[in-house]
Structure 1
Amino acid sequence: MASFGDLNRVNTNIQSLDSQLSLNQVNKQMAENQMKMSTGKRINRAEDDSAGFSIATKLRSRVGGLNQAMQNVGDAKSVLDITESSYGTVMDNLVEMKGLATQAANDTLGDEERGFIGDQLEALGEDINKIADQTVYQDYELLNGDHNTNAANTKSGSLDLEFQVGERKEDTITATINAVNVAALFNTGGAAGADLGSTAGAITVGLATTGGGGSLTFDSTANSADYREFIDHVDTAITEMSNNVNDIGIKQSSLSVREQTLSESISANESAKSRIMDTDFAKAQSESVRLQILQQTATSSLAQANNGPQSVLGFIGG
């Protein structure tokens, strides 16, 4: 800043230097303001607001994780939707089995008619196994259990799938999908060839062998009493399927709640990041008008300062 008597010296124009400094500062502020308006961001570099930049970066990272978690929830719901659909088809087969077994339990039928029904029931069992084999998502056979972790490598037990439904390590939901092939549905805890009828060897279930899902066998000697006993096993399988569908429904509901929560979290974190990072255009425009006025006054002041040394000529002329 010019001091008293500085205007009487011409080798160094202090007033002009002060005006140039002021103009340069205004021009710098104008450039920064224009960048904010052109990029839409209040913070374009860490030096603009180092603390804000750091906070916004963490928020951006969290939003990225939340967005992927939202995608994961959608994929998880797809898996459970596929499972539910196949469960429904298996249930339809079991209901048809129940009707056929009830028909065969009636003494109005002869052995030949029961034989036909037995063939139908065996075919329905094969269909259940095919449904289990063909219900696949990525590399998972969803309805055959985790047959890669048990000693016999059999298609039984259950498959546990852990879904990452949040951006933190602990944000997971585990879904247990029980095997629903013939071996799993009609396994009475016995060895291969376990009886499902009242007479030994009349109606049997072949438990899962390596790579298999079990099978139902109806001997030609099976009578009405055997089929009445078999009805009990079909009812047990239907009850088990109802429980499976209920469990899937509970997990689907949990995923829907998580989806809503994630959506709200994404919106809240995006809003927080926006308040830190994004330009307030109304404020930026007002600042732009202020800086333009300052630029004009600084330019005028610089021109006036450059003409200042001319006054010294009056001393010489005198």
Structure 2
Amino acid sequence: MPSFGDLNRVNTNIQSLDSQYSLNRINSDIAENQLKMSTGKRINRAEDDSAGYSIATKLRSRVGGLNQAMQNVGDAKSVLDIAEASYSTVMDSLVEMKSLATQAANDSLGDTERGFIGDQIEALGDDINEVANQTVYQDYELLNGEETGMTGSLSLEFQVGERKSDTITTSINAVNVGELFNQGGGATANLGATGSTTAIQADSASTSGSGQGGLTFASTATSADYREFISAVDSAINTMSENVNDIGITQSSLSVREETLSQSISANEAAKSRIMDTDFAKAQSESVRLQILQQTATSSLAQANNGPQSVLGFIG
């Protein structure tokens, strides 16, 4: 601000310098306001609001983790959907096995006919093993358990959140003839009637040539053997029902986590928006105010530049 008597000096126009400073500051504010409107962001650099920038960066990082976690949940559900579909196929084979075993348990059939049925059931066992081999996601053979031995279960841990502890662990039980029918863990299990040790047998997954176990039906298998085998099929069906139930529980947990993640993403995006994004109504009002001040400052500068001419009146 010029002091008393400054307007009477010509060499240094203090009033003009003050007007220039004011105009430059207004132009800077206009440029900043235009940047906010063009980018849609209230904070474009850390210097605009260092605390807000730090908070928003942390929120942005969290939103990125939550979005990826949402994708992870989708992938996890895909894995379980594949396993469930294969479980359903295996269950269908077991149901057909039970139907055939019930047919062979009837004394209206002869040994030859029972032999045909035994061959069909053996083929269904091979189909179950093949389903396990074909159920693959990425590099995981989902239904063959651990890679060493094709037994037990495959443990999977899904990252379903942006924090280290946000995980869901599930186990997909191996499904093959050895696991379903030779649950005792020995080399072979007798599935026929008591005293008939070789009529119907199940090899274990660890000792069979295929690594998954297999069913063997002797031509001497009687109706009593097949009646006993029905109990083994029922046990296998119960095992499969438990497997499907376990997958269903995990799928339900993933669905709940998916909904929670969606809500968290929305909440964190809203919080980040309140800090980072431009309020366009406010920015437009500010733009109008700054344009008026710019015009006023320009007019003031013009008057200040004309001020020294009044000194000519002293010279006459």
With the shorter chain as reference, the TM-score category is: over 0.9
Give, in whole Å, the separation in 1 of the partners of 2:277 and 2:39: 9
Q: How far 1:56 moved relative to its partner?
A: 0.8
1:99 to 2:94 alignment: no
Q: What's the secondary structure of 1:307's corresponding residue?
A: helix
Which residue of the partner structure matches residue 205 of structure 1?
Answer: 202
* Structure 2 residue identity aligned to 1:167: E
Q: Which string of whole-angstrom CA distances, capped at 9 and with x for unpartnered residues, describes residues 69-127 of structure 1?
A: 11111100000000000000000000000111111111111111111110000000000
1:44 to 2:41 alignment: no
Q: What's the secondary structure of 1:201's corresponding residue?
A: coil
**Identity of aligned pairs, percent?**
80
Give, in whole Å, the separation in 2 of the partners of 1:46 and 1:205: 70
* Structure 1 residue identity aligned to 2:171: T
Give, in whole Å, the separation in 2 of the partners of 1:276 and 1:83: 44
5+ residue gaps, structure 2, are: none
Cα–Cα, structure 1 residues 190 and 45, in superposed 2: closer, same or farther, change >3 Å?
closer
Q: What's the secondary structure of 2:154's corresponding residue?
A: strand
Q: Which string of whole-angstrom CA distances, capped at 9 and with x for unpartnered residues, describes residues 120-142 of structure 1?
A: 00000000000001000011110
Which residue of the partner structure matches residue 195 of structure 1?
Answer: 190
Q: How far 1:57 moved relative to its partner?
A: 0.7
Q: Which string of whole-angstrom CA distances, capped at 9 and with x for unpartnered residues, describes residues 211-244 of structure 1?
A: 6110000001111111111111100000010011
Give, in whole Å, the separation in 1 of the partners of 2:60 and 2:191: 60
* Structure 1 residue identity aligned to 2:155: D
Which residue of the partner structure matches residue 111 of structure 1?
Answer: 111
Give, in whole Å, the separation in 1 of the partners of 2:108 and 2:198: 23
Moved over 4 A (4+): none
Q: Which string of whole-angstrom CA distances, capped at 9 and with x for unpartnered residues, describes residues 127-173 of structure 1?
A: 00000010000111101111x3xxxx311100111000011000001
Q: What's the secondary structure of 2:215's corresponding residue?
A: strand
Q: What's the secondary structure of 2:216's corresponding residue?
A: strand
Which residue of the partner structure matches residue 159 of structure 1?
Answer: 154
Q: Which string of whole-angstrom CA distances, capped at 9 and with x for unpartnered residues, describes residues 182-221 of structure 1?
A: 0110123142222111111110011113761100000011
* Structure 1 residue identity aligned to 2:50: S
Cα–Cα, structure 1 residues 188 and 39, in superposed 2: closer, same or farther, change >3 Å?
closer
Give, in whole Å, the separation in 2 of the partners of 1:264 and 1:173: 19
Give, in whole Å, the separation in 2 of the partners of 1:43 and 1:242: 56
Q: How far 1:293 moved relative to its partner?
A: 0.2
Give, in whole Å, the separation in 1 of the partners of 2:248 and 2:186: 33
TM-score scaled to structure 1, two decimals? 0.96
Which residue of the partner structure matches residue 128 of structure 2?
Answer: 128
Matches within 5 A, 1:63-74: 63-74=63-74
Give, in whole Å, the separation in 1 of the partners of 2:78 and 2:6: 81
Q: How far 1:3 moved relative to its partner?
A: 0.9
In 1, are the aligned partners of 2:188 and 2:202 still within 8 Å (CA)?
Answer: yes
TM-score scaled to structure 2, two decimals? 0.97
Q: How far 1:311 moved relative to its partner?
A: 1.4
Q: What's the secondary structure of 2:206's corresponding residue?
A: coil
Cα–Cα, structure 1 residues 190 and 200, in superposed 2: closer, same or farther, change >3 Å?
farther
Which residue of the partner structure matches residue 7 of structure 1?
Answer: 7
Give, in whole Å, the separation in 1 of the partners of 2:186 and 2:311: 118
Which residue of the partner structure matches residue 251 of structure 2?
Answer: 252
Give, in whole Å, the separation in 1 of the partners of 2:46 and 2:83: 49
* CA RMSD across the alignment: 1.0
Which residue of the partner structure matches residue 182 of structure 1?
Answer: 177
Matches within 5 A, 1:142-291: 142-146=142-146, 148=147, 153-198=148-193, 199-209=196-206, 212-291=211-290
